[in-house]
Amino acid sequence: MNKNFLYAVPFVLAVAACAPRIGSNDYSYGAVRQASNAFPCTVVSVRTVNVSSNDNTVGTALGGVAGGVAGSTIGHGSASHTFGALGGAAAGMLIGNLAQDAMMKQSGYEYVVRTDNGQIYSVTQGTDTLLSAGQRCMLINGAESRVIPYY
């Protein structure tokens, strides 16, 4: 088995683990045990949206390290190892950035809701729960807002 391939496996696994869960049933540790306001509301509109990351730092950094390590094994002599490491790091950074961007893309729904007191809110969340226009729901408004079915 190619030794350079073995360097890429931890990189791919680490970047894949970075994709956040954005569904209405997913909570981060920081949102647990936090009080949020809950408002009865009605869905005004729903549309499908694409959710992507604004920060690919982890993928770029891990790709650079993996590429640099793999590139340093190219050639014979210190100069070729150095140039191989630099070239590998540059290529790895580009590939890592693109890989994290691709892994972080998710589909979601943007819900526009009207609370019973007339306020209009827009909340974007994952696709685990599909609500439809006219449906009664609850707007959970806090650090991580979400729209859930009204039971």
Cα separation, 120 vs 114, whole angstroms: 5
Element (H or E) spanning 122, and its range?
strand 120-125
What confidence category does residue 67 fall into, taking pLDDT thresholds of 50, 70 and 90? confident
pLDDT, tens only, 13-56: 554 555 566 576 666 767 677 788 999 999 999 998 887 766 65
Give the pLDDT score at 70. Answer: 73
What's the fold here for domain 35-52+106-151? OB fold (Dihydrolipoamide Acetyltransferase, E2P) (2.40.50)
Of 37, 36, 41, residue with least CA distance to 117 = 41
Total-model pTM: 0.57
**Span(s) in the chain for CATH 2.40.50.590:** 35-52+106-151
- How confident is the model at residue 95, as a pLDDT? 73
